[in-house]
């Protein structure tokens, strides 16, 4: 079930009403969440439910066994159980998402030396959001093993934690330390939080349907015919995809976080104005925050982080960026995308400048300084180049696309200028609002302080709502990150 579908428009208010009717009984309320979340997820294919239920049960059981072994100081046993659960979950993810990729890659590698391998691929459907809920379930058992959280014996609360429908298929990838306790204690309805949630949903729908959807229409055409396009048009395509993927994914996150607020649940922030970053390190602190911090806490730091020799710092950085690329998809383009960002990130971390910019840009000012603007522009353009690898079908396509940009006709007005004026207007509106609200949780956050007159707020709501109804396209339907 899609957030921007007619079915969800019916599903959400009914679920909201029934959920708060069960407020007197916590277990019943959690059971309702599990049932409604499985209905939401099974809307695509009921067979997906078997997989998520198995993953959830494995992590739940391993958590109890690990906790029991920890209490008896049986560290070796706890380690074996934790490793077994990690292996099972990663094998499931590997088979469904990466088996065909690695088999065909191996066959291609041998064929380069004139050796033909007999290979067998699997005709299986990739379950929606499998990477998201697998990582979320894994983080729980790892945290129990590390004594960061006690294992829960409330199986209903645990199933609700893994399957909570707003963030089930595309994040944020929640931690048990934040989300699980919210299902073990009574929740109360807060009107102001619910209203803020509705505003965040509205903002997320605008970014997804209006910005991402309309950018996708032009962007898809350009990437499909890039060999026939001049450099100026290729630049338009790269820029539009840059805003398409941001509008699509951050839009989903806003809808998910806003929806969770309606149910008295607080999810972590997943995007924090990433395109206003002053270097690549800041970009990665602001882009897909839940995944970035997951790799940091469960892979980078256990490998030694940055408190090891320079050679190991390089190794650790390459590992997390390459894994991040591979996490996004079974294609070498994603691996190259990860390697590209690793090469941009390495000089900063080796020089100890990776945490130079942790505060909001132009804090307390209306506009950035010339230096800040230049740094922001350079970082943005570097990110744009990386997105070409992310979007292309093959590494060769990405390379030829970038080569096509290296032409003097890049300075000529593209013939698509007039057809992309609408896209440009939507992007400018989105960026203007996010710049104006850059210190807030989301684009429409705390509007009472930004727009003190109620009439001004309602005009803004109406404009955004009307835009969603008037400018939706066929490319506004699917979410890009569902494939991951």
Residues serving a catalytic function are 328
Q: In terms of residues, how long is the chain? A: 484
Q: Residue 412: which region, alpha, beta or left (left: phi > 0; alpha: psi -120 to 50)?
A: beta
Question: How many whole angstroms separate alpha carbon 347 and alpha carbon 354?
Answer: 9
Question: How many whole angstroms separate alpha carbon 230 and alpha carbon 224?
Answer: 13
For residue 411, count CB atoms less than 10 angstroms from its CB and return exposed for 0-12, middle for 13-18, buried for 19 or more: exposed
What 3-state DSSP class applies to 309?
coil
Nearest to 251 by CA among 36, 88, 483, 477: 477
Nearest 10 degrees: CA dihedral of 283, 245, 295, 154? 130
CB count, 10 Å around CB of 447? 18
Contact 321, 281 (CB under 8 A): no
Question: How many whole angstroms separate alpha carbon 198 and alpha carbon 461?
Answer: 11
Contact 172, 270 (CB under 8 A): yes
Q: Which two tokens stand for residue 148?
A: 């960061």
């Amino acid at each position: 079930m899609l957030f921007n579908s007619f079915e969800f428009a019916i599903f959400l208010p009914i679920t909201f009403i029934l959920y708060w009717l069960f407020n007197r009984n916590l277990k019943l309320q959690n059971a309702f969440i599990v049932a409604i979340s499985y209905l939401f997820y099974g809307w695509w294919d009921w067979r997906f439910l078997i997989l998520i239920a198995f993953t959830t049960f494995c992590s739940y059981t391993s958590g109890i066994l690990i906790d029991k072994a920890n209490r008896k100081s049986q560290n070796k046993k706890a380690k074996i159980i934790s490793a077994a659960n990690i292996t099972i979950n990663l094998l499931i993810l590997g088979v469904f998402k990466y088996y065909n990729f690695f088999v065909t890659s191996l066959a291609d590698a041998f064929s380069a030396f004139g050796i033909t391998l007999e290979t067998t691929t699997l005709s299986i459907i990739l379950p929606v959001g499998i990477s998201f809920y697998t990582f979320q379930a894994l983080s729980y058992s790892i945290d129990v093993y590390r004594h960061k959280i006690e294992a829960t014996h409330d199986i209903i609360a645990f199933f609700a934690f893994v399957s909570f429908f707003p963030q089930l298929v595309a994040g944020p990838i929640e931690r048990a330390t934040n989300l699980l306790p919210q299902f073990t204690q009574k929740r109360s309805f807060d009107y102001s939080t619910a209203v803020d949630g509705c505003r965040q949903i509205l903002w997320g729908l605008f970014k997804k349907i209006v910005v991402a959807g309309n950018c996708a229409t032009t962007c898809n055409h350009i990437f499909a015919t890039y060999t026939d396009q001049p450099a100026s048009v290729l630049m338009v395509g790269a820029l539009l995809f840059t805003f398409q993927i941001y509008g699509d994914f951050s839009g989903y996150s806003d809808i998910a976080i806003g929806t969770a607020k309606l149910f008295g649940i607080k999810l972590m922030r997943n995007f924090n104005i990433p395109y206003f970053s002053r270097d690549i390190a800041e970009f990665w602190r602001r882009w897909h925050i839940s995944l970035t911090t997951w790799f940091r806490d469960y892979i980078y730091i256990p490998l030694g982080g940055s408190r090891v020799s320079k050679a190991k710092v390089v190794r650790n950085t390459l590992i997390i960026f390459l894994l991040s690329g591979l996490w996004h998809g079974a294609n070498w383009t994603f691996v190259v995308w990860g390697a590209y960002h690793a090469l941009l990130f390495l000089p900063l971390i080796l020089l100890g400048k990776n945490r130079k910019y942790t505060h909001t840009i132009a804090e307390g000012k209306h506009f950035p300084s010339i230096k800040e603007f230049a740094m922001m522009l350079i970082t943005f353009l570097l990110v744009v180049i990386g997105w070409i690898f992310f979007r292309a079908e093959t590494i060769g396509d990405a390379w030829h696309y970038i080569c096509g940009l290296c032409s003097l006709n890049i300075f000529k007005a593209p013939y698509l200028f007039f057809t992309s004026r609408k896209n440009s207007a939507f992007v400018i509106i989105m960026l203007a609002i996010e710049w104006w609200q850059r210190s807030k949780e989301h684009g429409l956050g705390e509007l009472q302080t930004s727009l003190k007159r109620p009439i001004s707020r309602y005009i803004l709501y109406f404009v955004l709502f009307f835009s969603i109804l008037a400018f939706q396209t066929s490319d506004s339907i699917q979410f890009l990150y569902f494939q991951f």
